[in-house]
Amino acid sequence: MEKTVICPGSFDPVTYGHIDIITRASKLFDKVIVGVFINVDKNPSFSIEERIGFLKKTVGHLKNVEVVGFDGLLVDCAEQHGATAVVRGLRAVSDFEYEFQMALTNRKLSPTLDTVFLASDAQYTYLSSSIVKNVASLGGDISNFVPEIIHDEIFNRLNKT
């Protein structure tokens, strides 16, 4: 049976760290749905459409990856796309508490939906979308954080200097 998983996130914006996890998932599973969600605890800098656009440009070459936007619960999106597991990246122990809470919440909402954690590449353990936004807003170099193809669009939007 084909194994479909969902890689959810805010992706505001996508970074090399996210791309590393999506690429790893695409090698492990038959199909990967990259779900762009609203995180009620965060105030996004980019619209869902823009975030989807960045992802399509950066992971669109992976044949078994599909990028979707979803304005609702992760468990509902997973069911709609036939995903049987959620894939999340872990950068460091500090990620664990938040990730474990989300995994157990999702399991309460949908008992058959499991969560799989993939260890991020060591070179990206410091990296986050917030870091990208912080550095770019002050005119700093983000070329090590996001791919060239989306760099200018992100930098020009965020740079406040």
Catalytic center residues: 18, 42, 91, 129
- Six token digits for residue 134: 């912080």
Q: What's the min distance (Å) between Cβ of 45 and ligand PNS? A: 13
Angle at 69 between CA 84 and CA 133, to 5 degrees: 110
Computed on alpha carbons and rounded to an integer, the radius of gyration of the chain in Å comes to 15
Q: Is 10 in the site for ligand PNS (CB under 6 A)?
A: yes
- What is the nearest approach in angstroms of ligand PNS to the Cβ of residue 119? 16
Choose one: 19-27, 37-45, 49-57, 61-69; the region binding ligand PNS (CB under 6 A).
37-45
The values of phi and psi at residue 37, to 5°, are -115, 170
Positions in the binding site for ligand PNS (CB under 6 A) = 8-10, 37, 39, 42, 73-74, 102, 105-106
